[in-house]
Amino acid sequence: MPTITFLEPGGKAHVVDAQAGLSVMEAATRNDVPGIIGECGGCCTCATCHVYVDVAWYGRLESADEMEQGMLEGAVEPGPLSRLSCQIKVTDAIEGLVVTIPAGQL
């Protein structure tokens, strides 16, 4: 089970053992991590699973497709490290992933 760290905007860390096969969004919502909503259930339709990926990790992830990029443009406070966490699959390759939760999703 890869470990993922979710940082609240204030710095508080939530370390989650994520089940492979789920998305990073599901790893958060199933473990009561606050601030990641996942309204559409992970089908890239709501952008309420927006996170900022740690700079060291960003380039190691598969890049966002066109749909995700479009959604991110209109997310709350998007930045260069923004991703939709439902589009990041939990695999052994992301062991140790660190993401920051934005101040708001809606």
Partner 1 sequence: MSESAATQTPSQTTIQTFVIVGAGQAGGETASELRKQGFTGRIVLVGDETHVPYRRPPLSKAYLSGTATQESLYILPPAGLEKARIEFIGGVRAERIDRATKQLHLSDGRVLDYDKLVLATGGRARVLSLPGADRPNVFPLRSIADVQAMRTHCLDGKSAVIIGGGFIGLEVAAVATKLGMKVTVLEGLPRVLARVTVPEVSTFFERIHREAGVDLRTGVQITAFEGEPLVTHVLLGDGSRIAADFILAGIGQVPNVELAQQAGLAVDNGIVVDEYSRTADPDIYAAGDCANHPNEFYGCRLRLESVQNAMEQGRVVAAGLLGKSQVYNVVPWFWSDQYDLKLQMVGLSAGFDRMVLRGDLNARAFAAFYLKDGRLIAADTVGRPQDFMFAKKLVALRVVVDPQVLADETVSLKTLLPAAA
| Residues binding partner 1 (CB under 8 A) | 21-22, 26, 29-32, 34, 37, 39-41, 43-47, 67, 70-71, 73-75
Total chain residues near ligand FES (CB under 6 A):
13
Closest CA to 19 of 8, 9, 31: 31
* φ, ψ dihedrals at 98, nearest 5°: -125, 125
100: partner contacted, choices ligand FES, partner 1, none (Cβ within 5-8 A by kind): none
Among 6, 38, 100, 102, binds ligand FES (CB under 6 A): 38
**Which residues, including other chains, have CB under 8 Å from residue 104's CB and lie 6 or more apart?**
76, 77
Cβ–Cβ under 8 Å, residues 82 and 25: no
- Using rule CB under 6 A, residue 39 touches ligand FES: yes
Q: Which is nearer to partner 1, 14 or 57 (CB)?
A: 14
Task: Copy the structure tokens of residue 19.
Answer: 């089940």
